[in-house]
């Protein structure tokens, strides 16, 4: 197995600190859907905002954190940032 270190991020993110908070929030509550995990995450989003962002990212509301690919996490962080 070989690892290649990239010169830049494969999926550039607008706000890296927000991205890290989002990932932590998504995985902090086991067996929760991404919507429910983000609700009590301290990101300052209400249920309606989370649903709108998930819909914009084309992520079903019943998705769990472990089901998302890295590209979707970046998209979520960028949508929250905007």
Q: How far is CA 34 from CA 13, 19, 43, in A?
A: 19, 14, 13
Label residue 3 by pLDDT band (50, 70, 90): confident
Q: Report pLDDT for 29.
A: 81
Question: Is the confidence at residue 4, as pLDDT, over 90?
Answer: no
Residues 35-82 have pLDDT tens digits of 999 987 888 899 999 999 999 999 999 999 999 999 999 999 999 998
Q: Output the pTM of the full model.
A: 0.84
Q: Report pLDDT for 31.
A: 84
């Amino acid at each position: 197995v070989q690892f290649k270190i990239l010169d830049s991020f494969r999926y550039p993110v607008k706000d890296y600190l927000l991205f890290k908070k989002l990932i932590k929030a998504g995985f902090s509550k086991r067996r929760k859907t991404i919507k429910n995990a983000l609700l009590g995450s301290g990101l300052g989003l209400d249920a309606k905002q989370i649903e709108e962002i998930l819909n914009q990212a084309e992520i079903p509301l019943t998705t769990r954190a472990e089901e998302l690919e890295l590209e979707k996490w970046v998209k979520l962080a960028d949508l929250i940032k905007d």
